[in-house]
Structures are given as C-alpha cells and as structure tokens.
Chains A and B, each alone.
Chain A
C-alpha cells in the first residue's frame, strides 16, 4: 500500500478540510464522502467458531467436530477416545501431551485442532501396542524409564522423531531434543540411556535381552 490521497483523507477524517499537494483544488466535505468508499461488511468472510473436519491420526482418518478454541489433545483424547496421549500441565510446559505433526513434535495441548487438519498426526498408539511393542518401549521397560508412566507417551514420540532423523544421537543431542519434557519421577538418566540404546537396536548393533 502506498501513501495515496484516499488514504490521507480517510486518516484525516471525513468532513475535515483536506488539502493535498497533488490536487490544487480544496476538496469539500461532500466530495470527500463520495470519494471514499465505505468498507463493505460483505468483504470480510465470517469468522470460524465451530467446524467439522477429518483428522489423519496414525494413518487412519477420523472425523470430528470442534470449536475454534478446541485443542488438538481434546480432539485426540476426548472426542476420538485415543487416550494414550496424556495431558498434564495444559500450558506447554511439561511435554506429556506431545504428538508428531508431519514428523515434528508439537505439544498437542497447545496446538489448536484446526492447525492439524490435513496433516499426518502420530500419537503413542501408532508406536506400538501391548502385543507388538516398539523397540523404544521395550528398552524403556527394561531400564525402568517409565516409572509412573504419565510422561512416557510424550517423550517416546519425541524420541521417535529424533531417531527417525538421527539414528545415532549423542547424549547431548538426546538431552537437547527431550528438553521440553518433564518427568516427575526423575527417570531422566534412564530415559536418555533408553534413547541411546534404542538407536543401537534400530541400527541392528544390539538386541534386546
């Protein structure tokens, strides 16, 4: 947008005597009112308050209705009943609610549901189930990296995103990648060891006893 006569007149207010440098004539109030078009209320589309859309979670499509203020966690756990993902702080601080959106970790309690429409969502249910655990979950069980288990679904998906990108992370890289997760049982040492050793398992250098 450039500085134009129309904008100047709008800013100066209708009815004020406006003198422009380019036009020599003094513009009267009536002329100004005619020249400045009223912004049409129809030009602005309606605001979204509530809508229904399809969510792709772990490769399956789910349809859900949500409000503008509904968070992704509320859709996943409350509306769709995938209760593996836990919500703890609800303030983007603890990391228990992490899910992957297009392969990147996000706090699902702090992402509006409308942001994840049309993207691939990955939750802990996609990682493995009781019959068929992911190596990350088996190693975590071996090392007691999940004590109460409330933070586990969050850091496991974040660790999976890290291992997908970098199958041989250093301790520093694991700590940096999991820095957004809080474990109140303080199993941090076991969690870091789990991620490092799962990398070894996934690379085929070690086997789970």
Chain B
C-alpha cells in the first residue's frame, strides 16, 4: 500500500482546512473500502494525506424531521441503513437497494456518502493504467475489454459506468444532499451531485465535489400516499458484484393512474441514467403490464453500446419490463 498520513479532525471546519492545505493530494477517509483498493493498487490519483472524518461527531444518524422526511448522516454505514426500521417503513425500495450492495462485511465498513462518491470500477483505472482519470490522455475501456463496467450510453472522455446504487435508488425519492464547503453549506439534488464524467479541480470524476468539500447529509422528503417503487439489479455472479444494469423505478399513483414517474437506470452509463421518454409516456396512463411493450420500444433509444457491452441495453430493458410487472402486481 502507498504510504499515507492520517489526520483526525474533530469538526467539519477543521477537516475542510486540512483538505484545503494539501489540495488534491488530500482526500476524505470514511469507510475506506474504495480508497484502500486505490492505495493498494498504487493508483497515482489516489490521495496520500487522508482526513479521517469518523472522529467528527454528528455525521452518523438516521432521523426523522417534522414533515415526515428522513435525514441520514453521510457517515451512516450501509448496514445501519439496511437494518433501520424507520427506512424500511418509509422507503422500502432504498433498503432493498442497500441490501443488494456487495457483501455484509463491506456493508459494515462502507458509508452512504462514500457509496455515492466512489471512484468508478473500470479494471484499467483500478489496475493503475494511465487513463483520463489517472492523469493520462486515453480511455482504455473505450477501446479494450468493456464487457462489464463500461458505458453503453456513450461518454465524453471516461467511458466507465457510475457504480453507486444508492444514488440511483435515491433519485425516485427526490432526495437531496448537503455539502459543506469552505464558504458554507450548499444543497444539491442527486442528479446535480453525480452528473458523471466531470472535470473538477483538474481531475475527471463522476461527482461535482471539489477537493475541499465534504458531503454531510442526505435528505429524503416524505413519500406521498400512493407512491410505489421497485429496485432491481443484475450482477455477473448474483452477489457481491456491481450492477451490470439496475433499475430504480418510482411511480406516484392516484387510483391506479400514474401521476408522476421516475425511471432511473444504474450501471449502464457514467451517471444514474434517467429515461425521461419512458417517464413522460407513463404519465397519465393506467398502470398495467399492457404498457410494457410500448415502454420498451421507447426506452434507451439513444443507446451507443461499445464493442462488447450491447447486452447491457437488453438487460436494462428486461429490468424495465419486470419492474412494470412488479409494480402492476402489487
């Protein structure tokens, strides 16, 4: 592993000060499940001055506000989300998504903030190749083996897919995140947080946080009556792996008529991919499996698969069909 130095600040302000001091050489260390692999593989872009924010009080909680929404601290472990009764009652789809993330051991270690801000799992980047994300000027995934974790919906520079499931599952709930910056707090929607393939502070990354900004809280508004959601995920081995394709679907129903729809695919593009064509088609329709054929014809029409990953589009469409069937059956 790369030699590292660890700071243990006791407040968010102090952590931001340390991050600002070291620039892009410093990085936030929370669960560490993603970061330690980067350090072990000696990825050049990996930070060597770690700011351990686990000593900061008040970033690890699941609490309910007056309006029925839920706030989750960024340091909350995935295992705590999976076991939370409050979340299981309010947002069963989110809990379902969390239970599909990797293994119990990793869920005990990794945090909700880290899951949303994790580095992509392209085998070339993780193997230390000098790609766009690692200080180079080429994407090996676009020209090499792209059968697993590369985008089937096109890309700009980096073609790796955004791997996080929590961000995908939070978009149907219209969740927001709070970010501590040197100049105060700011609030972003999930789509603003992970627009995919962004150049920030000279680094290519999936999220928009600068080197000295810290994600502190996830806010989920209260679900309205008649909200139904489903999460499904396809993985190479069925366990542990990242999504080949996943679908988080949320429908706001009024007596079986769809008032509002969210169709978000994960694991097929550089960001959680919202398919607005299908959303608009579903609005105003009566929920039944009769919608499936037309919805499938409308879904992912601008797909641009690479040499080996066209199967991701078929997987995603299959998930859409089973998602509609699942919600229509409930």
Q: Could you tell me which A residues sit within 8 Å of B by CB distance?
A: 1-3, 7, 11, 39, 43-45, 47-49, 67-69, 71, 90-93, 95, 98, 104-107, 110-112, 114-115, 158, 176-177, 179-181
- Residues of B within 8 Å of A48, CB to CB, are 5-8
Q: Cβ of B104 and Cβ of A110 under 8 Å apart?
A: no
Q: How far is it, in angstroms, between the C-alpha of A11 and the C-alpha of B180 when the chains are bound? A: 16
- Residues of B within 8 Å of A90, CB to CB, are 40
Q: 28 pairs across A/B with beta carbons < 8 Å?
A: A1-B182, A1-B185, A2-B184, A3-B184, A44-B7, A44-B18, A45-B7, A48-B7, A48-B8, A49-B6, A68-B4, A68-B6, A71-B36, A90-B40, A92-B105, A92-B106, A95-B103, A104-B108, A105-B105, A105-B108, A107-B105, A110-B33, A110-B106, A114-B6, A176-B104, A177-B104, A179-B104, A180-B239
Q: Cβ of A7 and Cβ of B5 under 8 Å apart?
A: no
Q: Cβ of A107 and Cβ of B106 under 8 Å apart?
A: yes
Q: Cβ of B109 and Cβ of A106 under 8 Å apart?
A: yes
| Nearest opposing residue in chain B for A11, CB measure | B183
Given that A92-B37, A110-B33 are contacting pairs, would A98 and B105 also be in contact in the complex, using a CB cutoff of 8 Å?
yes
Q: Cβ of B104 and Cβ of A69 under 8 Å apart?
A: no
Which B residues, 146 to 199, have Cβ-Cβ distances below 8 Å to chain A? 180, 182-185
Q: How far is it, in angstroms, between the C-alpha of A1 and the C-alpha of B11 when the chains are bound? A: 12
Q: How far is it, in angstroms, between the C-alpha of A110 and the C-alpha of B41 when the chains are bound? A: 13
Q: Cβ of B105 and Cβ of A180 under 8 Å apart?
A: yes
Q: How far is it, in angstroms, between the C-alpha of A69 and the C-alpha of B102 when the chains are bound? A: 24
B277 proximal to A (CB < 8 A): no
B231 proximal to A (CB < 8 A): no
CB < 8 Å: which of B4, B37, B50, B106 contacts A180?
B106
Interface size for B (C-beta < 8 A) is: 37
Which B residues, 181 to 219, have Cβ-Cβ distances below 8 Å to chain A? 182-185
| Nearest opposing residue in chain A for B180, CB measure | A1
Q: Cβ of A105 and Cβ of B104 under 8 Å apart?
A: yes
- Residues of B within 8 Å of A67, CB to CB, are 3
Which B residues, 30 to 53, have Cβ-Cβ distances below 8 Å to chain A? 32-33, 36-37, 39-40, 49-50
| Nearest opposing residue in chain A for B239, CB measure | A179
A-B pairs, top 3 by smallest CB distance, nearest first, are A180-B103, A47-B5, A179-B239
- Residues of A within 8 Å of B8, CB to CB, are 45, 48
Given that A3-B184, A39-B17, A104-B108 are contacting pairs, would A69 and B103 also be in contact in the complex, using a CB cutoff of 8 Å?
no
- Residues of A within 8 Å of B49, CB to CB, are 47
B81 proximal to A (CB < 8 A): no
Q: Cβ of A7 and Cβ of B184 under 8 Å apart?
A: yes
Q: Cβ of A69 and Cβ of B184 under 8 Å apart?
A: no
Q: How far is it, in angstroms, between the C-alpha of A71 and the C-alpha of B32 when the chains are bound? A: 11
Q: Cβ of B13 and Cβ of A1 under 8 Å apart?
A: yes
Given that A44-B21, A110-B33, A114-B6 are contacting pairs, would A3 and B183 also be in contact in the complex, using a CB cutoff of 8 Å?
yes
Additional A-B contact list (17), CB under 8 Å, known A7-B182, A7-B183: A1-B13, A1-B184, A48-B6, A68-B4, A68-B5, A71-B36, A90-B40, A92-B37, A104-B79, A105-B104, A106-B105, A111-B109, A112-B36, A114-B6, A158-B105, A180-B105, A181-B103
Q: How far is it, in angstroms, between the C-alpha of A166 and the C-alpha of B13 when the chains are bound? A: 42
Q: Cβ of B33 and Cβ of A92 under 8 Å apart?
A: yes
Q: How far is it, in angstroms, between the C-alpha of A93 and the C-alpha of B240 when the chains are bound? A: 8
- Residues of A within 8 Å of B240, CB to CB, are 93, 179-180
B14 proximal to A (CB < 8 A): yes
